[in-house]
Structure 1
Amino acid sequence: MKTARLPLLLCALLATATGFAEEAKDTDSPDTLIATVNGTPYQLDVFRLFYMERLQGNQGQQNNPAFQQQVFDEFMGLIVASQEGDRRKMQGDRNVVAALELERMKVMSNAALSAMAEEMEPTEDELKSAYEKVKEQSARTEYKARHILVKDEDEAKKIIKQLDKGGNFADLAKKHSQGPTGKDGGDLGWFDAKQMVAPFAEAVAAMKPGSYTKEPVQTQFGWHVIELQETRKAEPPSFEDAKPQLTALVKRQKIASKVNEMREGAMVELNEEVVKMKEDPTSAK
């Protein structure tokens, strides 16, 4: 097999999957092969799917010839190993049969859900209703604070005493803080309490603007003295800005509802030798 120009070739063949070459349209046919290995033909579409799966964890690599070569080599390894499985007649193995059926079900399920999503275009009223719920759920307080991080509790207590005597928090942070914000006077800017480790977040949430902690706060990073400067209510994104996310959210909800409806309406005959049904304790005897 000649592979010297393979990365350049792959660049064109994968174009319809990654969208970076117009001239590759001629290869966009379900009958187009990428290779014939030991007499067995393999469709380009199969490789494209394999390539896109590998690309998910390697964003930005689609134009990298070395990455393309690596994925192609993996694909060839998959081919010859699967052919060995055929040679050993493993397609009849009980576990292989079950695994193949499970994969078929997953693929068909994903294809069906994608088709359903295309058909379920949310109305403006549904999007606005979802937006109101998101606004309510996303209501939160943001904090603007400084902190001084030191290694031991006694040092932190000494700093608090200096603050009690009128010491300047920013100056003390520049002098004593071992954290990366020390040079900036301990300034943390605006943050959501969820961004901080639990002891720090709990301390900030209990404080009033303009105050500092009267006792050092311990975290895995050391001992903190915290000054809370301001608080504010976080502003949610506008309806227009949030529309793409709202559309996806409403579609997921509609699909889940439809799948639940289909499940409830399905005619199911259980093998009672395998699935033991528990009696409903509330049912009348």
Structure 2
Amino acid sequence: MRKRTPRTKLHLQPLQLSSPMETTRMHKMPKLIVPLLALSSTLLLSGGVLAAEDKKPEAATPPAAQPVPAPFTIPDPVAVVNGKTISKAAFDQYVQQLRGRTKVDSAEASKSLVDQLVLEELLVQEADKQKLADDAQIKQQLAMVQRSLLASSVIRRMLSESAPSEDAVKKEYETAIAAMKGKEYKASHILVDSEDKAKEIIAELKKGGNFAELAKAKSSDSSKDNGGDLGWFTPSMMVPPFAQAVAKMEKGKYTEQPVQTSFGWHVILLEDSRDATPPSLDELKPQIQQMLQSRMVNDYLEKLKSGAKIEVKEIQVSEAPKPAPAPAAVVEPKKEEKK
């Protein structure tokens, strides 16, 4: 029966330093050590929302050309709040943090971000008035943010100076597609809950029964509505007994003996087969680059560890306290009846 995975798709994990790195049919990575800190604003302020009426056009018309935003210039400073300037450099850094989440392609969008920076500055000035920077807990949190930022900056700088070469990407691609070569099959099946029922269906097929009609009438699988059609699949997408049976079949034939899997008993019809077509280099290139970067990060961290003197203190585990004994039941003495 089908395992729910896409056809001939290579699964390469993106750069992610908080979990073990794995790649399908490729090299497994050791668990990474330092989590990358994604730079993001701690102030989430809602902006205005433009509403538009949803009207159905009477006839199909070509989409109207989008207006080109007028050219604009960001001043320096972008604002002054109670005598404190907010520089254009600070604005540019803020835009960099929000890249991918918002567009700053117009004067209106830029003004919205400046307004957010102004509100953030007001809150920072209020924090200064309250001397929150002297709070012990906040000091500790700021120190943790600084550590994470410095650590992630080292990783980003290393990656920017050592990008994976085209030859390395091509070599990894060739390794990946070598593991993907094989056959794809197009088949239908009828699933029942006993061997006897499957044998009865095979007997009906031998008498000239229509496979699709029998599937609609007797199969317990959801594919019965399509006459048992499973579409195209690779052996890795099916449980082993099913895949092994299909690989031995001839095109246009059905299994003359029921095939048992954990789902039940199958009668299978092989409709067609073809050579599997792997994804192109361009399709896999972004995933391969991420995988190679992950490997580079792991190698870099292992190099740092091997050149450092590290002493990890043993964590002391205390014995769990024993539960207190349950209090004894108090039995009240029986009162003597007066005669």
Scaled to the shorter chain, the TM-score interval is: 0.5 to 0.7
Q: Per the alignment, do residues 90 and 247 of structure 1 end up closer, same or farther by CA in structure 2, a change over 3 Å counting?
A: closer
**In structure 2, how many angstroms separate the alpha carbons of the residues matched to 1:131 and 1:217?**
37
**In structure 2, how many angstroms separate the alpha carbons of the residues matched to 1:30 and 1:257?**
40
By relative contact order (CA 8 Å, sep 6+), the higher-ranking structure is 2
Distance apart, 1:198 and its partner CA: 4.8
Give the aligned partner of residue 47 of structure 2.
Answer: 8
Using structure 1 for the length normalisation, give the TM-score.
Answer: 0.59
Of the candidates 219, 242, 257, which is equivalent to residue 262 of structure 2? 219
Of the candidates 244, 262, 270, which is equivalent to residue 228 of structure 1? 270
Structure 1's unaligned 5+ residue stretches are 1-5, 42-82, 276-285
Instruction: Determine if the alignment matches structure 1 residue 19 to structure 2 residue 102.
Output: yes
Report Cα offsets for 1:117-149 as digits up to 9, x if no partner: 222222222222122111112334322110112
- CA contact under 8 A between 1:193 and 1:201: conserved in structure 2? yes
Q: Which one-letter code corresponds to 1:177 in the other structure?
A: S
**In structure 2, how many angstroms separate the alpha carbons of the residues matched to 1:208 and 1:178?**
25
Distance apart, 1:216 and its partner CA: 4.1
SS in 1 for 2:123: strand
- CA contact under 8 A between 1:145 and 1:227: conserved in structure 2? yes
Counting aligned pairs with the same residue, the percent is 34
**In structure 1, how many angstroms separate the alpha carbons of the residues matched to 2:193 and 2:305?**
58
Give the aligned partner of residue 163 of structure 1.
Answer: 205
- CA contact under 8 A between 1:217 and 1:225: conserved in structure 2? no
SS in 2 for 1:225: strand
Distance apart, 1:29 and its partner CA: 10
**Root-mean-square deviation over aligned CA pairs:** 4.0
**In structure 1, how many angstroms separate the alpha carbons of the residues matched to 2:171 and 2:116?**
42
**In structure 1, how many angstroms separate the alpha carbons of the residues matched to 2:144 and 2:240?**
42
**In structure 2, how many angstroms separate the alpha carbons of the residues matched to 1:179 and 1:141?**
24
Of the candidates 224, 228, 234, which is equivalent to residue 192 of structure 1? 234
SS in 2 for 1:178: coil
Instruction: Determine if the alignment matches structure 1 residue 255 to structure 2 residue 285.
Output: no
Instruction: Determine if the alignment matches structure 1 residue 40 to structure 2 residue 82.
Output: no
- CA contact under 8 A between 2:242 and 2:259: conserved in structure 1? no
Q: More deviation in 187-196 or 27-36?
A: 27-36
**Structure number, greater radius of gyration:** 2
Using structure 2 for the length normalisation, give the TM-score.
Answer: 0.51
Distance apart, 1:205 and its partner CA: 4.2
Structure 2's unaligned 5+ residue stretches are 1-44, 51-90, 315-339
**In structure 1, how many angstroms separate the alpha carbons of the residues matched to 2:146 and 2:49?**
28
Q: Per the alignment, do residues 269 and 138 of structure 1 end up closer, same or farther by CA in structure 2, a change over 3 Å counting?
A: same
Distance apart, 1:180 and its partner CA: 2.9
Q: Which one-letter code corresponds to 1:19 in the other structure?
A: T
Give the aligned partner of residue 267 of structure 1.
Answer: 308
- CA contact under 8 A between 2:103 and 2:109: conserved in structure 1? no
- How many residue pairs get aligned? The number is 217
